[in-house]
Amino acid sequence: MYKGYMEDKKRINFIEEIIENDLTNNKNEGRVHTRFPPEPNGYLHIGHAKSICLNFTLAQKYSGKCNLRFDDTNPSKEEQEYVNSIQKDVKWLGFDWDDRLFFASDYFDRLYEFAVELIKKDKAYVCGLTAEQIKEYRGTLTEPGRMSPYRNRSTEENLVLFERMRNGEFRDGECVLRAKIDMSSSNMNMRDPVIYRIAHQSHHRTKDKWCIYPMYDFTHGLCDALEGITHSICTLEFENHRPLYNWFLEQLDVPCHPQQIEFGRLNLSYTVLSKRKLQQLVSEKIVDGWNDPLMPTISGLRRRGYTPESIRNFCERIGVAKFFSIVDLALLEYFIREDLNKRAKRVMAVLDPLKLVIENYPEDKEEEFDADNNPEDRSAGTRKIKFSKVLYIEREDFMENAPKKYFRLSPGREVRLKHAYYVTCTGAVKDAEGTIVEVRCTYDPASRGGGTDDGRKVKSTLHWVSEKHMIKADVRLYEPLFKDRDPSSSKDKNDLHKLINKDAVKTVDAYLEPSLKDAQVSDRFQFLRKGYFCLDKTSTPDKLVFNRTVTLKDSYQP
């Protein structure tokens, strides 16, 4: 039993409060057992991460357990590829289900027995209405439903028909098994919900063993009970399903009665987190697969350069509540920036190169300077960087006719080249169209290493790379994929193509310091003054590809 909970009583959320009350009252013999129940019909996204962190962390905090259970009751949309990716992502986030990996399909035999038990208790019947009729008979929020003409079939007849459903004697949709509850309930979910449907479809695990499949509401609570789950945490849209969740557990002989608790799902600005829409982005090739760095999937964020720690910290910070909200994308970015600031090696990379020639530097001379790898972490050590007469700087770091407040290079102004020398601009060279193609300057040998003894100050420090030593790379700069802050309530919400920011990724030819040639896929760096970047898996020895994880600055403070 968890002992330390009195200390942090003040900071606990409403779910922890429920759990701690249960522990105090020795409900469930002091056990805490949660589960994360994904449907394997897509890749996990950052919203799932919230649920994963919540369920696994609660189990850890209260010395309990958390199961991973695939809710695989819909064979038409589910695939092994998703099962694999989900397991990989949960592990990558840093969680472990030990030997408790389950599938709802593992329980199909027992669920069938439960359905038979309901029929025997006169709590379920085989209904021959069509799907449209069932919908029509169900009534509305203001009108009660009508009873199905099949509602009073005898138990014997129902048992025979249900078995015939199982044996494949009916076509899809010809009949269903329904719970017999209350057609005039104010809760629509209680108006004789369907609990088994016919689908002559092969299942990714049970293959052709079944042609009837249990519905989610029936399956979920019973699986929870069979696994000894104590707290079944789900999102708010299931609040109205809770009476049904409880009803099944009350009718049937189950080993325990878990408590369903709902919380508000994560919504993120400039992002969609509906699996159906994410699926559409993939199938319509609006993005390049589920792990496109533009995707809010765990695999997309991983490829983008996010760390598991940053996602876990984000989930902890947003907490759980019982209401709808939209979290700012900037908050997620804050957490990856904070994490990479501590761990990413600093390097110099020029994303929009402009040539800089040092007129008074000897033609063939080369020098080496020591550069610190991370000022936030001295143990990261230093590296050597090479300097020579011809360098590249960012185009935006030079202005021919600069306003007073512009402190970077312009004719007559002096700046520091990071780790190297002070240079003073002497002019610029233009091509026939008037575009600046080269900046010229002189250097001060007395400023070697980036400073002087005479107390002279320069107002800015520029990053640079040496033409003779640099390597080239493709660098992908990302913006949010959606134009709207809240795409799901936009007037174009049903037309993904209209919602998409078509310029969400821009690839530039960048020049990098040579130390980057040893970078490995997934290595993360801070490109000085430019942001955090991660080496992409599409890199080849001839062409490195970096993804911008996040820019360096944002006004957001959590």
User: Which spans of this chain sit near ligand ATP (rule: CB under 6 A)?
Assistant: 37-39, 47-48, 50-51, 71, 234-235, 265-266, 273-275
Active-site annotation holds for 456:
no
Query: In the complex, what is the shortest distance from the CB of residue 327 to ligand ATP, in angstroms, rounded to a whole number?
Result: 10
Other CB atoms within a 10 A radius of the CB of residue 542 amount to 7
Is the CA virtual torsion 336, 337, 338, 343 positive or negative? positive
Closest CA to 375 of 335, 416, 342, 421: 342
Query: In the complex, what is the shortest distance from the CB of residue 493 to ligand ATP, in angstroms, rounded to a whole number?
Result: 14
Query: In the complex, what is the shortest distance from the CB of residue 237 to ligand ATP, in angstroms, rounded to a whole number?
Result: 8
Shorter beta-carbon distance to ligand ATP: residue 268 or 470:
268
Q: Exposed, middle or buried: residue 328 (CB in 10 Å: 0-12, 13-18, 19+)?
A: middle
Query: In the complex, what is the shortest distance from the CB of residue 18 to ligand ATP, in angstroms, rounded to a whole number?
Result: 17
Active-site annotation holds for 265:
yes
The residue with its CB nearest to ligand ATP is 47
Give phi and psi for 424, each to the nearest 5: -120, 130
State the Cα torsion 54-56-61-63 to the nearest 10°.
150
Shorter beta-carbon distance to ligand ATP: residue 104 or 119:
104
Say how far apart CA 353 and CA 247 lie, in whole Å.
Answer: 67
Answer yes or no: are the C-beta atoms of 213 and 238 closer than 8 Å: no
Closest CA to 70 of 21, 107, 33, 28: 107
For strands 349-350 and 505-512, give the pairing: antiparallel
Shorter beta-carbon distance to ligand ATP: residue 70 or 137:
70
Query: In the complex, what is the shortest distance from the CB of residue 110 to ligand ATP, in angstroms, rounded to a whole number?
Result: 21
Shorter beta-carbon distance to ligand ATP: residue 265 or 448:
265
Closest CA to 506 of 545, 468, 479: 479
Query: In the complex, what is the shortest distance from the CB of residue 527 to ligand ATP, in angstroms, rounded to a whole number?
Result: 32
Catalytic residue among 50, 205, 275, 345: 275
With a CB cutoff of 8 Å and minimum separation 6, the contacts of 225 are 249, 254, 255, 256, 257, 258
Shorter beta-carbon distance to ligand ATP: residue 37 or 353:
37
Catalytic residue among 88, 146, 265, 440: 265
Query: In the complex, what is the shortest distance from the CB of residue 257 to ligand ATP, in angstroms, rounded to a whole number?
Result: 19
Per DSSP, which regions of 248-290 are E strands? 259-263
Shorter beta-carbon distance to ligand ATP: residue 36 or 398:
36
Helices (H), 369-512: 496-499
Helices (H), 170-241: 216-226
Shorter beta-carbon distance to ligand ATP: residue 37 or 214:
37
Which residues are designated catalytic? 39, 265, 275
